[in-house]
Amino acid sequence: SREPITQGAVLLRAFAAGEAAQLVRAVEQVTAQSPLRHMHTPGGFRMSVAMSNCGRYGWVTDRRGYRYQPEDPLSGRPWPEMPQAFRELAVRAAREAGFDGFDPDACLVNRYEPGARMSLHQDKNEQDMAQPIVSVSLGLPATFLFGGMERADKPLRMRLESGDVVVWGGPARLLFHGVDTLPDGDHPLTGRCRYNLTLRRAR
């Protein structure tokens, strides 16, 4: 189904449900090459979400700041190639939401274990804010939070389940958003974790 969330954002419920197992296997292949790791914010805090990337650019954070870079800082080597299944899913979802010609060059892989969360933030490190972000949820369900254009705006809560895809573009592109603390659980595809893929145009 296709549900508008707010202007510019479309929830495609279960859009990737039929290919979720294949996507999880591709995540495991990516993270075998560039392992999931807990990055640090510029302020020195360890993130509870573990991250990796695939594609031409990867999002990283450390003492020097937030940025996209073509190499994995753990190895100094390029990030793993973006699996075709990720690219094709993102292009199809973006088209469904009205963004023709989306051509992602970066995919951030987030892994939430029970207790992990992501505090409210904006995604502002991409060059062209006219390009949407496509997010794919896999494994344990999570409560997604989305607010307004100011951090203080009270966020709405939305449950995202395995196979759900959300396209964020237009006026929704710069909304504050985050993920509530992941409750414990056990999912047939992922065990005790949730993966989220965000497909982006970084440069």
User: Alpha-carbon distance 188 to 170, whole Å?
Assistant: 35
Which residues fall within 8 angstroms of residue 39, CB to CB, at 6 or more apart? 46, 47, 51, 60, 61, 62
Which residue type is seen at 62?
D
Please tell me whether residue 16 binds ligand MD3 under the rule CB under 6 A: no
> How many helical (H) and strand (E) elements, i.e. helices and strands, does the chain have?
2, 13
- Closest CB to Fe ion among residues 54, 175: 175
Q: How far is the CB of 74 from ligand MD3 (least distance, A)?
A: 19
Q: Any contact of residue 52 with ligand MD3 (CB under 6 A)?
A: no
The one among 16, 182, 196, 201 contacting ligand MD3 by CB under 6 A: 196
Token pair in block for residue 25:
């296997």
Contacts of 17 (CB under 8 A, 6+ apart): 162, 163
State the residues that interact with Fe ion by CB under 5 A: 123
Minimum CB–partner distance for residue 7 and Fe ion (Å): 18
Q: Which among 86, 192, 199, 85 has a CA at the least distance from the CA of 141? A: 192
Residue 193 sits in the site that holds ligand MD3 (CB under 6 A): no
* Span 144-183, contacts to ligand MD3 by CB under 6 A: 166, 168, 172-173, 175, 177, 179
Please, which of residues 132-151 interact with ligand MD3 by CB under 6 A? 133, 135
Binding to ligand MD3 by residue 86, rule CB under 6 A? no
Q: Which two tokens stand for residue 70?
A: 């073509």
> What residue ranges bind ligand MD3 (CB under 6 A)?
108, 110, 118, 123, 133, 135, 166, 168, 172-173, 175, 177, 179, 196, 198
